[in-house]
């Protein structure tokens, strides 16, 4: 009977029929102190919360806290702080009696006792999560001098960030060897990233807005979307938990002392964040902003950029208000205004250059979430949320005509006036999620998650009209893409707790419809994505996890399709094959982790094996040059592919003065049958069964040393192993005549081929020292070098016919920087 009652309440609350809140007239207060269990010193800025409610407080500089107007009842009170283990106490409150608590919490140097939300869309301790959740903390981002999300993602096993174009600086993250669109990127657990935003979105998120980044490799598709085939990256932004501020300025010089390079380029970043919380902690707001100005950098002095010029302004806020101890409203807003330009002659207008890729983005995004608990037992919670993103993009992807019809070089190149474009993109998602607990469901205590979600995207991409001076005619605006997509999703999940064994089973249903008015194509289907996970507590220190998940990618326009690179003096545009079908996957993961604490020393080791079977996987094949001289890349289905390998992670911290962490990945990524991935008539030179740009080995490490309270030294590095990619060279027309070709540094023509790259070790060091200007205000100076030994690509193409996509290795050459910060939380 109790089960039926719970299910009835669940359905009723999801459709909004029942929305009752119990009111309590008798209240009291909870106060106390949080101290370090080792030194007995007070801990400022620790969070103390009543579990299952929206009520809480933050300790002052003396470690004291008070939570006012708490209704009578039974509570679990939790004390947490960055760098410390969680501690919980049970508390019975009676009317008119104020309670005082004292928490003694121990340091958690390597984040083993964190609370995460990406495992099952609810707060859970990392060690109890049914899937492995890796976390990149704000501390690690600051210690490794990460400016944006793109800089920090390399410090997690299985992740690698790459630059894919020297003309526009397009970057993407690969998880377990699979390219960007296989990974679901979330902000506060919401899919706010549209396909267009994903092109440059990793560099639009400043590190100063990030509290932590949670990474789940595989196994998340049943809850976060079918396209989470490789996994999920969840960006948790900072919450307003206390009155705080921080402002910083960093000046970097790119390409210092690099042989055979042009002049060094400057990279200047100013950022700030601040939060204000009301005295009763019922309301708060966090604001942030970043302004980045980066010059272009020419790595081989041929007049063409390897790193593009960038001007970026990002700002935003996150605010909340508690209407009661059971109800909380959260609002978010984020705006980006960015300009970037690559190619040559960057001081001229885009059409006056030989090669130019110029993009201006104006992005507005935001959303809200309403969290409502029901009754004072707090076993049921309803979340209603919505988010939206609007993008206005002006672009130019063009290459001037430098040869006449006989292949003779023109004295005056003919500008490409038709390369200007305008793109409008709108993405909206909305949904509801209900969570409840059962003391017993069939055979064990269980948690239930039910949800509905709708994701809509409208994308219109136009090639703007222009005057054709050669033929004295006006060419009208052409619609390149006019796509709408709508996906209705529903998910359900149950997690059973049998003590030493925890089971999680879930399924997601996605019904999608995609229509493209430009070519009349349409795609639709309903796909079910199941998920199953098991956690076995082998001992107090060791855990075994096993998981399976199924996912899919719909045959639609993805982010890289709107990155129209100008490669080998031709624009590369993307099309979908007429018979393209959705791509499906089966993902299997097995992991074993071991945690040990000996005195103050904490250690952690993880070994994780993964196997992903791709059914009808997408791959890109070049076709003949079209009537307008564009190279056309067509997305087709291959017969199948398998991505498999091992991730390893190790952390150790003898004390707060020293900690070390590293991760390493060994993998194989191959199609079942070889596919041609080039544009030359000689298929043998570019046919391979390897999935391109996937190193067989890669990893990272970070080591922090804090000999005194004021000084910290961080040595970090990322390793990229050898990989295979296509190097586009000479191209041919329908008659077999050569029409363009890239050159090496000796002026020799490059023939199209598959290339095996070198491996790279990018080492960096950061030194920081702070001065205490008062009881809680600090002034900090940072000095550091990225890529100390300039382990960087040295075989870029030369001239206008270069292959701009022939880019690999680390993101930046040797870079020296100096920074200063002022704030009360550094």
d(CA 512, CA 491): 15
Give the closest residue to 462 by CA, choosing from 439, 481, 488.
481
Evaluate if residue 685 carries a pLDDT over 80. Answer: no
Compute the distance between CA of residue 181 and CA of residue 172 in angstroms, rounded to an integer. 9
Strands 183-187 and 231-237: parallel
Question: Of all residues in the chain, what percent are helix, strand and coil, respectively (each to 5)?
Answer: 5, 60, 35
Q: Using one digit for the tens of pLDDT, what is the confidence trace for 29-76?
A: 888 899 988 778 888 878 888 876 667 788 887 888 888 878 877 788
Domains and CATH numbers, the chain: 217-242+280-288+297-823 (2.40.170.20)
CA of 357: how far to CAs of 313, 344, 626, in Å?
20, 9, 20
Q: Flag the least confident range among 400-404, 716-720, 756-760, 763-767.
A: 400-404
d(CA 479, CA 463): 6
- CA nearest 704: which of 96, 75, 141, 127? 141
Query: In this predicted structure, what is the pLDDT of residue 341?
Result: 95
As a whole number of angstroms, the distance between CA 126 and CA 145 comes to 26
Has residue 603 got a pLDDT over 90? yes
pTM of the model: 0.86
**Which residues have CB under 8 Å from 655's CB, separation 6+?**
109, 600, 601
DSSP H or E segment with residue 221: helix 221-224
Examine the pLDDT at 367 and tell me if it is beyond 80: yes
Q: Is 642 exposed, middle or buried (0-12, 13-18, 19+ CB in 10 A)?
A: middle
Mean pLDDT check: name the lowest of 169-178, 464-473, 596-605.
464-473
Alpha carbon distance 373, 384 (integer Å): 12
Max avg pLDDT among 466-475, 552-561, 607-616: 607-616
- What's the CA gap between 82 and 85, in Å, rounded? 8
| pLDDT at residue 768, as a whole number | 96
Are the C-beta atoms of residues 629 and 161 closer than 8 Å to each other?
A: no
Token pair belonging to 129: 């999560």
CB-CB contact of 349 with 316 (8 Å): no
Q: Give ∠ CA 645-650-656 in degrees, rounded to 5.
A: 160
Q: Is the pLDDT of residue 16 over 60?
A: no
CA 689 – CA 270 distance, rounded (Å): 45
In total, the chain counts a number of residues equal to 826
Give percent of the chain above pLDDT 70: 85
Report, as an integer, the average pLDDT of 307-331: 92
Q: Please check the confidence at residue 263 and state whether its pLDDT lies above 80.
A: no
H or E element in which residue 587 lies: strand 583-598
Measured in whole angstroms, how far is the alpha carbon of residue 758 from the centre of its chain? 27
Sheet of 210-217: strand order equals: 134-137, 210-217, 231-237, 183-187
How distant, in Å, are the alpha carbons of 87, 280, 416 from that of 49?
11, 13, 61
Q: Radius of gyration over alpha carbons of the chain, in Å?
A: 27
Structural tokens at position 768: 């920081």
Q: What is the pLDDT of residue 85?
A: 80
Kindly state the DSSP code that residue 12 receives in the 8-state scheme: H
DSSP letter string, 724-771: EEEE---EE-TTS-EEE--B-TTSPBPPPEEEEPPPEEEEEEEEEEEE
d(CA 803, CA 728): 6
Q: Measured between alpha carbons, how far is 760 from 638 in angstroms, rounded to an integer?
A: 31
Task: HSE, CB side, 13 Å, CA atoms: give it for residue 652.
Answer: 3
State the average pLDDT for the chain. 83
Would you give the distance in Å from CA 253 to the centre of its chain? Answer: 26
Higher pLDDT, 620 or 767: 767
How are beta strands 640-655 and 658-676 bridged, if at all?
Answer: antiparallel
* CA gap 603, 127 in Å, rounded: 14
* Cα separation values, 690 from 121, 173, 614, 669, 697, Å: 35, 18, 14, 6, 14
Lowest-pLDDT choice from 117-121, 216-220, 533-537: 117-121
């Amino acid at each position: 009977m109790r089960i039926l009652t719970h299910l009835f309440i669940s359905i009723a609350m999801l459709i909004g029929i029942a929305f009752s809140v119990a009111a309590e007239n008798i209240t009291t207060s909870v106060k106390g102190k949080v101290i370090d269990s080792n030194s007995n010193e007070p801990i400022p800025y620790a969070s103390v919360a009543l579990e299952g409610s929206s009520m809480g407080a933050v300790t002052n500089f003396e470690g004291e806290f008070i939570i006012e107007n708490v209704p009578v009842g039974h509570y679990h009170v939790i004390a947490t702080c960055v760098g410390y283990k969680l501690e919980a106490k049970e508390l019975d409150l009676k009317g008119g009696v104020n309670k005082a608590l004292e928490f003694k919490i121990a340091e958690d140097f390597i984040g083993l006792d964190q609370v995460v939300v990406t495992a099952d869309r609810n707060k859970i301790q990392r060690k109890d999560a049914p899937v492995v959740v890796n976390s990149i903390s704000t501390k690690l981002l600051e210690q490794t001098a990460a400016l944006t999300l793109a800089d920090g993602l390399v410090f997690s096993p299985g992740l690698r960030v790459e630059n894919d174009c020297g003309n526009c600086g397009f970057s993407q993250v690969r998880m377990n060897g699979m390219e960007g669109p296989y990974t679901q990127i979330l902000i506060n657990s919401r899919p706010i990233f549209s396909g267009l935003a994903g092109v440059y979105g990793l560099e639009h998120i400043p590190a100063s807005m990030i509290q932590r980044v949670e990474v789940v490799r595989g196994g998340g598709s049943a809850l976060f979307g079918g396209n989470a085939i490789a996994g999920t990256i969840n960006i948790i932004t900072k919450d307003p938990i206390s009155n705080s501020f921080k402002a910083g300025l960093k000046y970097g010089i790119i390409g210092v002392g690099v042989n055979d390079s042009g002049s060094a380029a400057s990279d200047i970043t100013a950022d700030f964040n601040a939060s204000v919380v009301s005295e009763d902690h019922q309301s708060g707001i966090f604001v942030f902003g970043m302004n980045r100005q980066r010059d272009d950098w020419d790595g081989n002095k041929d007049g063409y950029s390897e790193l593009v010029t960038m001007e970026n302004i990002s700002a935003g806020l996150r605010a909340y208000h508690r209407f009661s101890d059971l109800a909380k409203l959260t609002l978010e807003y984020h705006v980006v205004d960015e300009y970037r330009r690559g190619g040559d002659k960057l001081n001229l207008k885009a059409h006056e250059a030989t090669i130019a890729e110029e993009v201006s983005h104006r992005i507005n995004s935001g959303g809200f979430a309403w969290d409502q608990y029901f009754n004072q037992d707090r076993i049921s919670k309803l979340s209603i949320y919505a988010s939206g993103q609007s993008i206005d993009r002006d672009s130019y992807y063009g290459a001037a005509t430098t040869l006449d019809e006989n292949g003779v070089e023109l004295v005056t190149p003919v500008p490409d006036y038709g390369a200007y474009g305008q793109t409008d993109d709108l993405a909206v998602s909305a949904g509801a999620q209900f969570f409840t607990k059962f003391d017993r469901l069939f055979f064990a205590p269980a948690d239930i998650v039910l949800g509905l979600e709708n994701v809509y995207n409208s994308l219109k991409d136009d090639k703007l009209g222009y005057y054709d001076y050669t033929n004295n005619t006006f060419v009208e605006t052409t619609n390149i893409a006019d796509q709408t997509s709508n996906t209705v999703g529903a998910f359900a999940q149950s997690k059973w707790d049998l003590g030493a064994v925890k089971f999680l089973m879930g399924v997601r249903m996605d019904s999608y419809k995609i229509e493209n008015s430009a070519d009349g194509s349409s795609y639709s289907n309903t796909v079910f994505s199941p998920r199953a996970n098991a956690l076995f507590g082998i001992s107090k220190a060791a855990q075994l996890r096993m998981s399976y998940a199924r996912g899919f990618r719909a045959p639609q326009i993805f982010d890289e399709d709107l990155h129209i690179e100008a490669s080998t003096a031709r624009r590369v545009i993307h099309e979908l094959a007429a018979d393209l079908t959705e791509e499906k996957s089966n993902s299997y993961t097995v992991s074993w982790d071991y945690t040990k604490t000996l005195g103050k020393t904490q250690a952690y080791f993880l070994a994780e094996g993964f196997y992903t079977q791709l059914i009808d996987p997408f791959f890109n094949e070049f076709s003949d040059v079209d009537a307008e001289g564009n190279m056309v890349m067509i997305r087709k289905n291959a017969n199948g592919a398998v991505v498999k390998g091992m991730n390893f992670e190790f952390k150790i911290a003898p004390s707060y003065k020293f900690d070390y962490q590293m991760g390493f990945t060994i993998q194989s990524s191959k199609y079942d049958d070889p596919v041609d991935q080039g544009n030359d008539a000689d298929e043998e030179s570019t046919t391979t069964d390897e999935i391109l740009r996937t190193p067989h080995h890669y990893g990272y490490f970070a080591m922090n040393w804090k000999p005194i309270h004021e000084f910290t030294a961080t040595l970090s590095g990322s390793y990229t192993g050898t990989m295979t990619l296509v190097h586009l060279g000479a191209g041919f027309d329908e008659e077999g005549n050569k029409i363009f070709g890239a050159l090496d540094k000796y002026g020799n023509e490059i023939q199209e081929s598959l290339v095996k790259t070198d491996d790279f070790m990018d080492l960096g060091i950061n030194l920081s020292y702070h001065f205490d200007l008062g009881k809680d205000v600090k002034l900090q100076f940072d000095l550091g070098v990225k890529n100390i030994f300039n382990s960087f690509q040295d075989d870029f193409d030369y001239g206008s016919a270069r292959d701009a996509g022939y880019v690999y290795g680390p993101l930046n050459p040797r870079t020296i920087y100096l920074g200063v910060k002022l704030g009360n939380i550094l």
